[in-house]
Amino acid sequence: MILLFNITMFKKKLPFSLNPFSLGKGFAGMTDLLLIIGFVVVSTVIITVPPLSDSALRVVVGFLLVLFIPGYLLVSTLFPRNDEIDAVERIALSIGLSICIVVFVGLCLNYTPWGIRLGTILLALSAFILVFTALCAFRRIHVPESERFMPF
């Protein structure tokens, strides 16, 4: 028995476009998440490629990757609406929660066979960041655009 699936029957129920190349109405306010994904990719290259990994750029990228982005994504996932907390609270919570997240990730990595090394920390933080970027996007999509948190 062949089951035919017609995607057009769901178009009216979804709050976003089914076209993967359009960042239309449903994806308004997602530019910070796209920038974070790009930053994770670029920072992974900067941290691991030998000519770039010896420069001071590695320190700047590492500070942002460790001390701000994980907490920012957790705060954005927990508070997807614009009126829940203000900008100063978002920044303070982002820095504080990033420190907690990195400590927890390091503690978990300590009990794995791979241990705490640059590669494992980078992989674990990148995975955390990408998972919480997807969760944050999912939460923001289900908030009306007028109430959605948009940092830009």
Amino acid at 74: L
Q: How far apart (Å, rounded) are the C-alpha atoms in residues 76 and 69? A: 10
pLDDT value of residue 24: 55
141, HSE (Cβ side, Cα atoms, 13 Å): 17
The stretches of the chain forming alpha helices (DSSP H) are 31-48, 50-53, 57-67, 69-78, 87-110, 118-141
Q: How far apart (Å, rounded) are the C-alpha atoms in residues 135 and 141? A: 10
pLDDT digits (tens, 9 = 90+) for 113-134: 999 999 999 999 999 999 999 9
**Average pLDDT score, the chain:** 85
**pLDDT tens digits in sequence order for the chain, 152 residues long:** 454 445 554 445 555 554 444 455 566 778 999 999 999 999 999 999 998 888 899 999 999 999 999 999 999 999 999 889 999 999 999 999 999 999 999 999 999 999 999 999 999 999 999 999 999 999 999 988 888 888 87
Helix 31-48 and helix 57-67, axial crossing angle in degrees, nearest 10: 130
- pTM of this prediction? 0.80
